[in-house]
A and B are shown apart, each in its own frame.
Chain A
């Protein structure tokens, strides 16, 4: 990207970079490719033929629609919770210096560093202990634990970059606390919030591990895909759904990247 003024990369380095990119992206390519396969029992290469009929089939299936609906609702709700709590936490850590501030910061970031399986098991035990039946909300709480982190990171990075005098300047010019929040703090954070929200949505939408422990009998889209892999029936349908998930998660991430580009912010930090 920034080749100007720097020596050109050697051939071996370029080859290694290409191999790395291929390793990351070739599987994605095959997922997309097999969504168009006419062979429904197994994955064979080369493809015996190409068809788009699986898109229509996938669209007709009730179980897919239900899973998709649940996933979207869970992602929206987790993102909403993450935006409120993540912003408040970032504001608290930025503005005031209190006992245990660094620990709170660490505790907030921990869920994303912990393996999902730990988060999942602990949430499940907690639900059991408190006699909370599995529901939409148990999934949402599970997802919110890691969604908060991306919002928190984005907002905190934006706040740390802002001139410390901005709030004082606003008060000095006659704005009270609410007006300062409305006209200065909120607009200043808007793109960071949006980016954090997009990432949180994408994270929640394709989450499997924590969901497995907190969903009970409910099926989100990723869980549906996992169960579908075990019983081979209309296999390309799973790939069609995968293509859809790729699109739904990639677009928000690209938007978030665009919103925070040219800044040294933590848009993608986290998962």
Chain B
């Protein structure tokens, strides 16, 4: 870390083309030192290619990538101060857990006593103390994931790249590992760049996230910002659930044909005869479906004059009981509507 610049990784107008496909298309972003930065998007959106560009497994066709202020063009992966936790973990099957973790140190010719000490420290940190002599094939998925993490972190990289590291784990373990990863990142203070297609994961863990679609970044921001103020229809639909309104429906509800998004949980449901608060947007409709989801219930409401909206309500008890066929009045504060760029999809 010779450069005191507070930017860990910087992309300026980076493109990577595979044949006809622009996998990464003119992407620019900066990741701050010590930040937990997520790249979120559906498969094929270019997020993993961006990660591989940082690691050095791919070279950009255009644009410039800086890692701690240093242009990494042409620098091979083994000369970059960056380590990766691979999606399939890519542990070395013929080595023990200890040898796997110490591999980076062995390559850099760290004396064997120090190697062992640091590997044991690392294994302890990822809660695998005493597992050093096992082979990767004797570990569970979650344990392998931790070995991959320890193997990368032992080198004290300036940036740690994580490629869907929790993708192969079951839901409970995934949630537990999310918390562990987040607290580990705070403890070691290393910049994490995290690739995922799971919007919940990205929202829960990141300081900031970039939403990718078709090789481009649709929006970059803090989780709250992305969720509350999606910039495009894609972000509104991919991160959480949104009602997307455009054209005549938007005109009728908001007084303008400009498309907008409204989150289902922001919509209040009143009896048809009830009065909406002053200044609120309001519309009458008829419940066409109700789905009980445990903590919440999801209603689909067919609006008078066409169109429908999804409404989600907490099952906290005491509120209006609604069944399909009932007439209701929906209303929401104008400020909760999120105007979108471009057409709704």
Instruction: Tell me the A residues contacting B by CB distance below 8 Å.
Output: 162-166, 168-176, 179, 183-184, 187-188, 190
Contacts and interface: CB of A to CB of B under 8 A. Distances in A.
Interface of B is mostly: loop
A190 B93 CA distance: 13
Given A171-B76, A174-B104, A162 B93 contact: yes
B108 A174 contact: yes
B308 interface: no
A259 to B, nearest CB: 13
Interface of B: 55-57, 76-78, 82-84, 86-95, 103-104, 106-108, 151-152, 155
A163 B90 contact: yes
Interface of A is mostly: helix
Given A168-B77, A169-B84, A175 B90 contact: no
A179 B87 CA distance: 23
A164 B155 CA distance: 22
* Most interface-central of A165, A166, A170, A174 (chain B CB within 10 A): A174
A169 B161 CA distance: 12
A169 B104 CA distance: 10
Given A163-B93, A168-B77, A188-B93, A174 B86 contact: no
Given A165-B86, A169-B86, A179 B77 contact: no
A166 B90 contact: yes
A184 B93 CA distance: 9
Given A165-B86, A179-B107, A171 B92 contact: no
A173 B88 contact: no
A172 B79 CA distance: 8
B57 A176 contact: no
29 contacts: A162-B93, A163-B88, A163-B93, A168-B57, A168-B84, A168-B90, A169-B84, A169-B86, A170-B103, A171-B56, A171-B77, A171-B78, A172-B55, A172-B82, A172-B152, A173-B103, A173-B151, A174-B104, A174-B108, A175-B103, A175-B107, A176-B78, A183-B103, A183-B107, A184-B92, A187-B94, A188-B92, A188-B94, A190-B94
Given A168-B84, A173-B104, 20 more contacts: A163-B91, A163-B93, A165-B86, A165-B87, A166-B92, A168-B57, A168-B90, A169-B84, A169-B151, A172-B55, A173-B155, A174-B108, A174-B155, A176-B76, A183-B103, A183-B106, A187-B94, A188-B92, A188-B93, A188-B94
